[in-house]
A and B are shown apart, each in its own frame.
Chain A
Amino acid sequence: MKTYILQRFIQMIIVMVVVMLVSFIIVELPPGDFLTTLREQLTEQNVDPKVIDSTVEMYRARYGLGENWFIRFGKWAWSLMKGDMGYSMQHNRPASELMGERLSLTIWISIATLIFMFVVAVPIGMLSAIKQYSAWDHSFTFLALLGVSVPSFITALVFLLLSVTLLGATTVAGLFSPEYVTAEWSWAKFVDMLKHVWIILFIVGLGDTAGTIRVMRARMLDTLGEPYIDTARMKGLSGAKVYFRHALRVAINPIISSIGLRFPQIISGSTIVAIVLTLPLIGPLLLDALLGEDVYLACSILVVLTLALVIGNFLADLALAWLDPRIRFEN
């Protein structure tokens, strides 16, 4: 078990380094000299020439611009590691300051979506398999296929449409009631968020929930066909015990290991849904950064999101090893 954890940990570190490298290449991809662009942009914004000079100089020093690519990468990676996400030219503020709450909210919402997905999809998928070819099964199989076909931004748009036409809303439903938007975190604000957040979870999680229902149904059907389920039935166990104690714990494994694939999709989904519904998540900031060609900010966001995913995968693997003795003992 220990070797397994260690192994996965080393693997995670390697993936992280590669992710940073890839992101760095993306930063470097845009044609043209970054500093020239920066200078132009700042000039356009009518910034004091002295400030421009010092800003440009700061970037040159921090990212080692003009030096070898691996030195630049090293400097960039090192500053990232220290929690320095760079400096947003558009906002004239350190990126970490801008990201702060948005980042943690994004991650929390994504985790909540994941939990929502589990709580909804696993029972539905399981029941569909147990009652195969029933009306319940047919309707949920169809709904699930519909669900995987609707991207989250369209769900968000439809939600917008419904709220403006049916409810006559003039502003978009956000994460908070208007009076809490700028308020400090408090219990009341948290409760307020809970009132709003479920609809966000639904919108972001619909596609993945539907996908998980399909996987869960298929896995449960496979598992129910396994001989050890007959063994369990032959003991005289009740249906519930057979399904929950014996079938579920095997069928749910691929769902847990698929977290690694679901989580990126949920982050993707939350990014665009946040843009559509103007939620205070990381998505709108990323879009802003991209449209404003705020390169370093954009890539810092990409790296941080990806690293969060990689850590998430690592935790999912650990959970799987804890659940499944076959993995635990393999090493």
Chain B
Amino acid sequence: MEQNVGENGRLPQEEIEAEERFDVTKQVSYGRLIYLRFLRNHAAVVAAFALVFIYLITLACPFFAPYDPNTRFLEKVAHPPLLPAFIDGEGQFHLRPFVFATVQSRDPKTMERIYAQDTGRRFPLRLFVRGDEYDFLFWHSDLHLFGAQDSPVFLLGTDTQGRDLFSRILFGGRISTTVGLIGVAISLVLGIVVGMASGYLGGAVDAVIQRGIEVLLSFPSLPLWMALSLSLPRHWSSIRIFLLITILLSIVGWGGLARVVRGMTLAVKSEEFVLASRMGGGGTWWILLRHILPTNLSYVIVAATLAVPGIILGETALSFLGLGIQPPMISWGVLLQDAQKVSFLSQMPWLIAPAFFIMATVLAFNFIGDGLRDALDPYSNF
């Protein structure tokens, strides 16, 4: 074999080929490897689709909601959910779903409203119907995804003021889901900057930051948020309140992220590839941006994904208590306020519907976060 050693010390060709044959080399990048591994986790993939769907219908809520959230159907106050049907009063099947008309009466004893379905009259559902006008981005329209002519459609019923709950949930979701994203974005920036500084600089900077985060984390978050919400001027516009609430939530939330980033930075700092980069002439910024940030980023994304639910829940809890988003602005927490009253809930159990939207969103984020985390280990077998 030694006869084959080339003049320049290269490995003999056959040796290269021998290695080549056993190679399990795949010409894929690290990011693609993670993606492929993520795809194998079916629950996470389903959750990802669900999340995209939730964000789509809440962000473009004016189109997907059949009504404006403030449109009041005075004749239909506290109307129970009316689900689309296919079989009419005579037992005949219709391919196009429809809703029955309802007739209101009152219970002679309790004076509660009772809605009875009039199976004789049915209103077919249609796509792309005209309804309440709205402005969405730069687009003024009155087009809605679905509706029925001559009759309102209450998928999830109406509230005590006769407003369509489904529409309100979509509009409320726009606030709640955005709070999660913006809040995490703020936490993320704070967490990455502080965490990387703490981990890379070390020493006194690290010690001070770590003690600070410890103090931050030792507050019970909800009472702290509640106390902080005191500082919100009540007379401010609801959009400013919304932004402030978001900032408030992320102020409490960044500590955990900063810890994750710091831990990763410390781990990466001692990796030999960082030393190798310094040997190759890399300075502090080069190493931070080129090696440490990209290496941390994937883990940070996981941590961020898992942090979104916390912020969404913080907003809903605060608003639910009347300390967060203020009406007329709607969020899922605001909607749930009605459900808090036992008397309302006993008569209108559908008022709890926003809770299931909250749960679905949070669950989706948790599933995706779990899936991403499992997909991340760079050397796990594929």
Contacts and interface: CB of A to CB of B under 8 A. Distances in A.
Given A149-B309, A149-B362, A287-B226, 8 more contacts: A15-B218, A30-B231, A154-B336, A164-B346, A165-B346, A263-B220, A265-B220, A305-B223
Interface residues of B, number: 42
B68 interface: no
B339 A157 contact: yes
14 contacts: A15-B215, A19-B219, A26-B228, A29-B230, A31-B233, A153-B317, A154-B358, A165-B346, A265-B221, A268-B221, A271-B226, A286-B223, A291-B323, A306-B219
B309 A158 contact: no
Interface string A24-38: 001001110000000
Interface stretch (B24-32, B136-144, B363-371): B363-371
Given A150-B359, A161-B349, A276-B340, A306 B220 contact: yes
A222 B213 CA distance: 28
B77 interface: no
A172 interface: yes
Interface string A266-303: 01110110011000000000110011010100110110
A64 interface: no
A287 B321 contact: yes
A170 interface: yes
Contacts of A157: 336, 339-340, 345, 352, 355
B222 interface: yes
Nearest to A146: B363
Interface in B188-243: 211, 214-215, 217-224, 226-231, 233
A301 B342 CA distance: 27
B355 A290 contact: no
B225 to A, nearest CB: 9
Given A23-B227, A26-B231, A158-B355, A267 B220 contact: yes
Contacts of A286: 223, 226
Contacts, number: 136
A310 B221 contact: no
B227 A299 contact: yes
A272 B322 CA distance: 12
A119 to B, nearest CB: 22
B221 A264 contact: yes
A268 B221 CA distance: 6
Contacts of B366: 145, 148-149
B309 A295 contact: no
B176 interface: no
A290 B230 contact: yes
A47 interface: no
A309 B223 CA distance: 13
Contacts of A293: 230
B226, B228, B346, B352 pick with most chain A CB within 10 angstroms:
B226
B252 to A, nearest CB: 11
B316 interface: yes
A18 interface: yes
Contacts of B219: 19, 22, 264, 302, 306, 309
Given A157-B340, A170-B346, A272-B321, A290 B359 contact: no
Interface of A: 14-15, 18-19, 22-23, 26, 29-31, 145-146, 148-151, 153-154, 157-158, 160-161, 164-165, 169-172, 260-261, 263-265, 267-269, 271-272, 275-276, 286-287, 290-291, 293, 295, 298-299, 301-302, 305-306, 309-310, 313
A18 B211 CA distance: 10
B217 A261 contact: yes
A30 B336 CA distance: 27
A169 B218 CA distance: 38
Given A157-B339, A161-B349, A170-B342, A298 B221 contact: no
Can you list the 6 inter-chain pairs with the closest CB atoms, starting with the nearest?
Answer: A268-B222, A29-B231, A264-B220, A164-B346, A267-B220, A149-B363
Nearest to B313: A151
Interface in B272-299: none
Nearest to B356: A154
B218 A160 contact: no
Nearest to A310: B218
B320 interface: yes
Contacts of B309: 149
Given A23-B227, A29-B230, A165-B349, A260 B218 contact: yes
A267 B223 contact: yes
Contact of A18 (B215, B317, B355): B215
B346 A272 contact: no
A172 to B, nearest CB: 6
Interface in B299-351: 309, 313, 316-317, 320-323, 336, 339-340, 342, 345-346, 349
B223 A268 contact: yes
